[in-house]
Amino acid sequence: MEIRLLQPDDAVKYKELRLEGLKKNPEAFGSSFEEEVGRPPEVYGERFKAENSFHFGAFEGGRLVGVVSLVRENALKMKHRANIYAMYVTEQSRQNGIGKLLVGEALEKARAWDGVEQIHLAVMSENAPAKKLYSSFGFEVYGKERHALKIDGVYYDEELRALYF
């Protein structure tokens, strides 16, 4: 198992994994499969080079099996905040501690980022394993967004969580 920052040459693997996540767990993401399927992999490669974000991948035998993104706010009054987005681990690799390793790596990077004092994320209210994972790191619920997502006429609520350093 290798956890490392994603590089532009990982963009094709990342897109494949992202599309898998969007298809299998659409309720876990603000983006949709339909929006992302036509996006060129180079778009992701450019994101991997951005100064305000870090994108981590978990590799097993050279295969990308999990990802998480850490993105710092750019606005002057919000630079003390960063967000976790796009967390996904393949079904076959779940229950192996990969999610914990990815989030741990993102939080370690956030703590080392000068001026970052808090990390925010949103998690689907019914996703018990993800909620348990985030709670294990000390993320606290500070709100709930009712009907945050609507997929095929079905609403999904999200818990808003934060970790304060």
Q: Give me the pLDDT at residue 14, please.
A: 96
Q: Give me the pLDDT at residue 42, please.
A: 92
Q: Give me the pLDDT at residue 12, please.
A: 95
Contacts for 69 with CB less than 8 Å, ≥ 6 apart: 47, 53, 54, 55, 56, 84, 85, 86, 87, 106
The pTM of the full predicted model, rounded to 2 decimals, is: 0.92
pLDDT (tens digit per residue) in 1-11: 899 999 999 99
pLDDT band of residue 95 (cuts 50, 70, 90) is: confident
Given the DSSP bridges, would you call strands 81-89 and 140-151 parallel, antiparallel or unpaired?
A: unpaired
CA distances from 38 to 25, 116, 125, 142 (A): 19, 34, 29, 35
CATH code of the domain in which 9 resides:
3.40.630.30
pLDDT band of residue 93 (cuts 50, 70, 90) is: confident
pLDDT band of residue 84 (cuts 50, 70, 90) is: very high
The total domain count for the chain is 1
pLDDT band of residue 96 (cuts 50, 70, 90) is: confident
pLDDT (tens digit per residue) in 111-128: 999 999 999 999 999 999
Q: What is the mean pLDDT of the chain?
A: 95
Q: Which domain holds residue 9?
A: 2-164
